[in-house]
Amino acid sequence: MPIELFMSIMHLNSITVYECLLICRSLGRVGVGHMVYISGLTCALSSTNILEVSWREKEPGSLFVNLSLLPALLNSSCLHNLSPLSDLPRSTNRTHISHVRLDGIDCDSLKVSLFHNICGSVVNEHSGVLQCSFCKCACESVCARGFQLHLTIADDSADVLAWCVGQTAVEFLQISPDEYLELPEDERAMYLYTLQNESFVVAIANTRKRVDGCAVGDEAVPAWEITRAQKCE
């Protein structure tokens, strides 16, 4: 039986992560700081006390699941303990689940961009060709509009500046990218203001080392990514 292991991708670069995606035949976005599950891994100490990891395929491909993006992570209380936001700086190597309120949206950071449907990364135009910023493949017919934004979340213990993209951003904004673009310019800011103080359960991970091209430079990107969000009724 393959041994199953939880891993936190904290020190992998984008090429290494992409190789994992290809080997494990995984679909969906995966990034630095995300917690993933890979079957077929075994860990052991070498004779020189160095941790060695080996991977054995029981079948072609391997089970690779990005736990940080799973809806069940928020829906199933047996899979998590709620963390106050003040706990985040003390434990940066795991995905936290927190009950928060939306304190504010950085309107200047809000962008509607194209995202690669396969890996979920931003698509840029190079020499007239749409190219994924992560896996570098041409993706003319396999991309869709999505949001990028920075926002501040808060609870009774602290407030945190974070970023999110894709479906997580849609959950916060409660509007699709196409519907948002149809709003007149002056109504967009008013709409975003009405979302303040809404309550959410969120999964949040430290992605300070991220290199996937969603922002211009390290200083422009908050350290924390909200990987999943669910509005509280």
Domain residue spans of the chain = 4-69, 80-231
Structure-block tokens of residue 14: 């984008």
What pLDDT was estimated at residue 28? 58
What pLDDT was estimated at residue 121? 79
Structure-block tokens of residue 184: 């007149």
The DSSP bridge pattern shows strands 199-206 and 159-165 to be unpaired
| Per-residue pLDDT of the chain in tens (233 residues, 90 and over written 9) | 233 333 443 333 333 344 444 333 344 577 777 777 777 777 788 888 888 877 776 666 567 777 777 777 787 776 678 899 999 988 887 888 999 999 999 988 899 988 888 777 788 887 788 888 777 778 777 888 999 999 999 999 999 999 998 889 999 999 999 999 999 988 998 999 999 999 999 999 888 765 444 444 444 778 899 999 999 87
SS3 (DSSP) at 96: strand
Give the single-character DSSP code of 197.
T
What pLDDT was estimated at residue 62? 60
CATH topology (fold) of 80-231: OB fold (Dihydrolipoamide Acetyltransferase, E2P) (2.40.50)
Which residue in 30, 33, 34, 68 sits closest to 203, CA to CA? 68
SS3 (DSSP) at 168: helix
The pTM of the full predicted model, rounded to 2 decimals, is: 0.74
